Amino acid sequence: MASGAWRAIGSFSILAPSASLQPARQAKPFINDQETCSMSDVDFTQDSPFPAQQASFNSMRNVKARNRAGWLGLFADDAILQDPVGVSAFDPTGQGHKGKEAIGAFWDNVIAPNGGEIRIRESYPAGDECANLLRITRILPNGKSFEVNFIGVYRVDEAGKILSLKAYWQFDKAMADFAAAMAE
């Protein structure tokens, strides 16, 4: 193994490149440091040196604070929001919500009337993008818990404004899970 050596990280072993092949600075995902494989929440109240990750954290902060103006201010004028990506009741054409007016309407119609706890379970910044593994949990009127897991991908411009926000989740499956939880 001339180019690397095995080393243990938690309960995993990986082939790590030799020191001569290590980049000068490695970007690490902003996750709570643990030596286990368990999911850990990302503290989005902290700042990130990565612009796209910082935009994602600011987005979560504003959603949690129910701050429509602050959340909308994170987007570039020509931004596009796809939540979820593809055709859904939220986006019948599947083309996304383009521009601040349409994104503001999405807030009014989807985010504002829905509560719940949002968690960033893991976050991975890379270049001008950041992918977050997220979970929204709501307590339903019948007392049951309802969760939707999804991946949110943020892309920012050179000023750190969100150009694109794509949320990957299955609308039909989530609605079926919601109906099942309400029937229990």
User: What are the residue boundaries of the structural domains of the chain, listed by start?
Assistant: 41-183
* Reported confidence tier of residue 96, pLDDT bands at 50, 70, 90: very high
Q: Which fold has domain 41-183?
A: Nuclear Transport Factor 2; Chain: A, (3.10.450)
Q: Give me the phi and psi of 163, to 5 degrees please.
A: -90, -35
| DSSP conformation class of 26 | -
In angstroms, rounded to a whole number, what is the distance separating the alpha carbons of residues 20 and 4?
Answer: 10
Q: For residue range 117-151, list pLDDT tens digits in order.
A: 889 999 999 999 999 999 999 888 898 989 999 99
pLDDT score of 19 more than 50: no
Mean pLDDT of the chain: 82
Nearest to 155, CA basis, from 146, 165, 170, 145? 165
* Separation between Cα atoms, residue 182 and residue 184, nearest integer Å: 6
